[in-house]
A = this chain, B = another copy of it.
């Protein structure tokens, strides 16, 4: 097994709030290889034999446990494609902490493509937290292209918080969700882009069951010359509720495009979306400056608030 360097430790702290090895079930991956893996009594993690990745099985009724599966990349010129499948037993209630940190000090690109699929059993609850982060003095790109698939059985509940902190040269995000009767999904995506970075986020959410409910919250800040595209689609196929909300702050020469689609294929579907793109309100900055902040500090304070 690989050793963790100071850079590794710092990446793990950024993306998973980890200081040292976590407790319980976890899988730490570095540069396409396993660092360490641990299963618990209720949560089994095993490697696929036919492809890169792991199968995480949470026993029915498991309560209050956390799974950590962070990935760190520190070498230039590699692409790591990994499949992580989560099978959550009926009635389980767990927290899953994922994320990927890239430190690229070379001239070639470093890329991580995580394909995460979740099968939530009846009445189960999952809180999923994923952070993406890039750093390093190299000119090589830091690329993160995550795919997230969520299949929710009846009355399950899922809360997903997906955040791109900073330093990610380009990202193309695909999120696909299907909700059975009574399932509820809260999906929050927060993206910060700067420099010449690009971010594309596509979502396809199908409300298939009676009483299913989704809330999509997208918050983003596009700075400098960066470019972002949001393309979430919510389809209501039954008596259901869907709410999509996109808010973007634009700064410098950045461009942001939001195209949230809603599609009602049932008379009893109730779908709403809202989107707003604009710069930070001048009066907000002035207000903070009267409290003694510089303009830059005030701006940073507002951005932190917006993305937190």
Residues of A within 8 A of B (CB): 233, 236, 248, 250-279
Report the minimal beta-carbon distance from A283 to chain B, rounded to whole angstroms: 14
Residues of the B chain whose Cβ atoms lie less than 8 Å from the Cβ of A254: 267
Residues of the B chain whose Cβ atoms lie less than 8 Å from the Cβ of A271: 275-278
Report the minimal beta-carbon distance from A279 to chain B, rounded to whole angstroms: 5
User: Which one of B252, B266, B272, B274 lies within 8 Å of A267 (CB-CB)?
Assistant: B252
Report the minimal beta-carbon distance from A13 to chain B, rounded to whole angstroms: 33
Residues of the B chain whose Cβ atoms lie less than 8 Å from the Cβ of A255: 263-265
Residues of the B chain whose Cβ atoms lie less than 8 Å from the Cβ of A257: 261-264
Report the minimal beta-carbon distance from A84 to chain B, rounded to whole angstroms: 31
B270 pairs with A278, CB closer than 8 A: yes
Residues of the B chain whose Cβ atoms lie less than 8 Å from the Cβ of A256: 263-264
B274 pairs with A274, CB closer than 8 A: yes
Report the minimal beta-carbon distance from A255 to chain B, rounded to whole angstroms: 5
Residues of the B chain whose Cβ atoms lie less than 8 Å from the Cβ of A267: 250-254, 279
Report the minimal beta-carbon distance from A262 to chain B, rounded to whole angstroms: 5
Question: 16 A-B contacts, Cβ less than 8 Å apart?
Answer: A250-B266, A250-B267, A253-B267, A255-B263, A255-B265, A256-B264, A258-B261, A259-B262, A269-B278, A271-B275, A272-B276, A272-B277, A273-B274, A273-B275, A274-B274, A274-B275
A262 pairs with B250, CB closer than 8 A: no
Report the minimal beta-carbon distance from A204 to chain B, rounded to whole angstroms: 13
Complex-state Cα separation, A257 to B269, whole angstroms: 12
Residues of the B chain whose Cβ atoms lie less than 8 Å from the Cβ of A259: 233, 259-262
CB-nearest residue of chain B relative to A281?
A: B270
Residues of the B chain whose Cβ atoms lie less than 8 Å from the Cβ of A265: 255
B250 pairs with A278, CB closer than 8 A: no
Complex-state Cα separation, A272 to B276, whole angstroms: 4
B279 pairs with A268, CB closer than 8 A: yes
Report the minimal beta-carbon distance from A251 to chain B, rounded to whole angstroms: 6
CB-nearest residue of chain B relative to A244?
A: B275
Complex-state Cα separation, A241 to B255, whole angstroms: 15
Most chain B CB inside 10 Å of its own CB: which residue of A233, A261, A270? A261
Complex-state Cα separation, A269 to B249, whole angstroms: 10
User: Which one of B260, B263, B270, B277 lies within 8 Å of A270 (CB-CB)?
Assistant: B277
Complex-state Cα separation, A269 to B256, whole angstroms: 10
Residues of the B chain whose Cβ atoms lie less than 8 Å from the Cβ of A277: 236, 262-264, 269-272
